């Protein structure tokens, strides 16, 4: 008898919960966890079920590798969904997930901690960032498999959401990564430093990456500038060699995320200039 559930068809909230609850088909669990996060489910069972899917892999049971791998896949989507659902009750378990052997689960946990914005996670994120570089120069192969980019972004997000400013030692621990041999990590470091210090030199370093020969680096730098709402980069974003759809997304980010203009967008001269740049791309 085939116990597999067809997971390729559109489903509703009740079906997503049902798929995450059953323990036979892990691909159905995977889809169910994704659906709950993607649709920002408000169902009271959603967060407990997602937490259960995450904690099952954190207990590291003695199981066959193929079974563990399938459960880890579900746990990744559960971790991502918990961030999207703003489930601060998941903070402690997401911090535990930073130590899991699976790189993608560690990355998902870091990003979700950033989305949650719980300042209780800040020391753990900084400690893991420093741990990855303990005794090794930044850029060493030891770093290449670690989610440094996600850790840095999460640190910046949490500082912004809580109005935290970095002390000198804290800032130095981030500054080391501006020289990382992966430009996307260097961009993430400058993003966090710009968010916590407001010093324009970090924004200028990200802008310089918009001219990088690699498309993925240009995309990452553009999104980092948008996340910071750093408006001096508007013209460079509009002329950057990336897809127009991504440039429009970034310019919208400058309108909505500017630290100089919190709250609803006010249509001053600078805002009108941003809208004009967006019109030129349409």
- To the nearest whole number, what is the mean pLDDT of the chain? 87
Round to whole Å and give the CA distance between 196 and 207: 18
Closest CA to 76 of 99, 96, 102, 95: 102
Is 2 a member of any domain? yes
Is 77 a member of any domain? yes
Round to whole Å and give the CA distance between 188 and 213: 18
5-54 confidence digits (pLDDT tens): 554 568 899 999 999 999 899 999 999 999 999 999 999 999 999 999 99
Round to whole Å and give the CA distance between 246 and 210: 13
pLDDT for residue 147 is more than 70: yes
Is 76 a member of any domain? yes
155, 122 contact by CB (below 8 A):
yes
Quick one: pLDDT at residue 4?
52
Quick one: pLDDT at residue 274?
81
Q: What is the CATH number of the domain that holds 64?
A: 1.25.10.10
169-220 confidence digits (pLDDT tens): 888 889 999 999 899 999 999 999 999 998 999 999 999 999 999 999 999 9
131, 167 contact by CB (below 8 A):
no
Is 63 a member of any domain? yes
Closest CA to 105 of 75, 135, 71, 145: 75
59-79 confidence digits (pLDDT tens): 866 666 667 788 999 999 999
Is 194 a member of any domain? no
Query: Which domain, by its residues, includes 52?
Result: 1-118
Long-range contacts of residues 161-169, Cβ cutoff 8 Å, at least 24 apart: 161/117, 162/117, 162/119, 164/119, 164/122, 164/196, 165/196, 165/197, 166/196, 166/197
């Amino acid at each position: 008898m085939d116990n597999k559930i067809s997971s390729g068809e559109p489903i509703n909230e009740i079906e997503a919960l049902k798929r995450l609850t059953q323990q036979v088909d892990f691909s159905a669990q995977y889809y169910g966890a994704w659906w709950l996060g993607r649709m920002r489910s408000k169902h009271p069972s959603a967060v407990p079920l997602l937490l259960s899917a995450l904690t099952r892999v954190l207990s590291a049971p003695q199981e066959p590798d193929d079974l563990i791998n399938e459960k880890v896949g579900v746990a990744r989507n559960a971790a991502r969904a918990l961030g999207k659902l703003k489930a601060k009750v998941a903070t402690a378990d997401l911090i535990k997930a930073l130590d899991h052997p699976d790189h993608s689960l560690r990355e998902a946990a870091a990003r979700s901690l950033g989305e949650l914005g719980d300042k209780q996670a800040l020391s753990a994120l900084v400690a893991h960032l420093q741990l990855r570089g303990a005794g090794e120069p930044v850029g060493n192969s030891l770093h290449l498999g670690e989610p440094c980019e996600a850790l840095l972004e999460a640190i910046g997000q949490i500082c912004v959401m809580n109005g935290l400013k970095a002390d000198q030692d804290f800032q130095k621990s981030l500054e080391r990564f501006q020289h990382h041999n992966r430009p996307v990590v260097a961009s993430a470091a400058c993003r966090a430093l710009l968010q916590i210090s407001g010093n324009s030199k970090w924004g200028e370093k990200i802008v310089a990456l918009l001219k990088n020969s690699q498309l993925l680096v240009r995309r990452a730098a553009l999104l980092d500038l948008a996340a910071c709402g750093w408006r001096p980069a508007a013209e460079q974003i509009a002329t950057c060699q990336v897809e127009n759809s991504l440039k429009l997304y970034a310019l919208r980010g400058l309108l909505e995320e500017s630290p100089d203009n919190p709250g609803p967008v006010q249509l001053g001269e600078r805002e009108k200039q941003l809208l004009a740049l967006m019109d030129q791309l349409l």
